Amino acid sequence: MKALTWHGKGDMRCESVPDPKIEHGRDAIIKVTACAICGSDLHIFDGIIPSMEHGDIIGHETMGEVVEVGSQNKALKVGDRVVVPFTIACGECFFCQKGYYSGCERSNPNKAKAAKLWGNSPSGLFGYSHLLGGYSGGQAEFLRVPYADVGPIKVPNHLSDEQVLFLSDIFPTGYMAADFCNIQKGDTIAIWGCGPVGQMAIRSAFLLGADRVIAIDTVPERLALAKESGAQTLDFRDEDIYDRIMELTNGRGADACIDAVGTEPDTMASFDSIVDRIKVATFMGTDRPHVLRQAIHCCRNFGTVSIVGVYGGFVDKIPMGSAINRGLTFRMAQTPVQHYLPLLLDRIEKGEIDPSFVITHRATLEEGPEFYKTFRDKKDGCIKVVLKPN
Positions in the binding site for ligand NAD (CB under 6 A): 38-40, 42-43, 169-170, 173, 192-198, 216-219, 222, 236, 260-262, 264, 288-289, 291, 308-310, 334-335
Residue 276 and residue 267 in contact, taking contact as beta carbons nearer than 8 Å: no
Give me the least distance between CB of 62 and ligand NAD, in Å please: 14
Cβ closest to Zn ion, residue 166 vs residue 289: 166
Toward ligand NAD, which CB reaches closer, 197 or 231? Answer: 197
Please choose, out of 75-83, 84-92, 249-257, 349-357, the segment that lies near Zn ion by the rule CB under 5 A. 84-92
The reply on whether position 102 binds Zn ion by CB under 5 A is: no
Identity of the residue, 163 or 218, whose beta carbon is nearer to ligand NAD in the bound complex: 218
Can residue 149 be called a binding residue for Zn ion (CB under 5 A)? Answer: no
CA separation for the pair 210, 318 (Å, rounded): 27
In our burial notation (b when 16+ CB lie closer than 10 A, e otherwise), range 353-382 reads: bebbbbbbbeeebeebbebbebbbebeeeb
Count of residues for the chain?
A: 390
Nearest distance in Å: CB 182, Zn ion: 24
Q: Which stretch binds Zn ion (CB under 5 A): 85-93, 206-214, 228-236, 320-328?
A: 85-93
Residue 194 engages Zn ion in binding (rule: CB under 5 A): no
- Residue in 34, 38, 299, 341 binding Zn ion, rule: CB under 5 A: 38
3, 42, 52, 96: residue in contact with Zn ion (rule CB under 5 A): 96
By a kind-dependent CB cut-off of 5 to 8 A, residue 260 interacts, out of Zn ion, ligand NAD, none, with ligand NAD
By CB under 5 A, tell whether 104 contacts Zn ion: yes
Question: Among ligand NAD, Zn ion, none, what does residue 90 contact (CB within 5–8 Å per kind)?
Answer: Zn ion
Which one of 46, 169, 217, 264 is in contact with Zn ion (CB under 5 A)?
Answer: 169
- Cα distance between residue 315 and residue 330, in whole Å: 15
Strands (E), the chain: 2-6, 12-16, 28-36, 56-57, 61-69, 81-84, 87-88, 124-125, 142-145, 153-154, 188-192, 212-217, 232-235, 254-259, 299-307, 329-332, 361-363, 385-387
- Dist CA 183 CA 188 (whole Å): 9
For residue 203, what are the contacts with CB-CB under 8 A and spacing of at least 6? 174, 229, 353, 357
Q: Does 165 bind Zn ion (CB under 5 A)?
A: no
Cβ proximity of 295 and 258 under 8 Å: yes
CB atoms inside a 10 Å sphere around CB 170: 29
142 versus 375: smaller Cβ distance to ligand NAD: 375
Nearest approach in angstroms of CB 105 to Zn ion is 6
Q: How far is CA 359 from the centre of its chain?
A: 15
- 222's contact among Zn ion, ligand NAD, none, with CB below 5 to 8 A by partner kind, is ligand NAD
Nearest Cα residue to 65 out of 76, 54, 74? 76
Picked from ligand NAD, Zn ion, none, the partner binding residue 261 (CB below 5 to 8 A depending on kind) is ligand NAD
Instruction: Between 146 and 303, name the residue whose CB sits nearer to Zn ion.
Output: 146
385 alpha carbon, distance to own chain's centre: 14
**What DSSP character marks residue 239?**
S
Q: What is the CA radius of gyration of the chain?
A: 20
Interface residues with Zn ion (CB under 5 A) are 38, 40, 89-90, 93, 96, 104, 106, 169
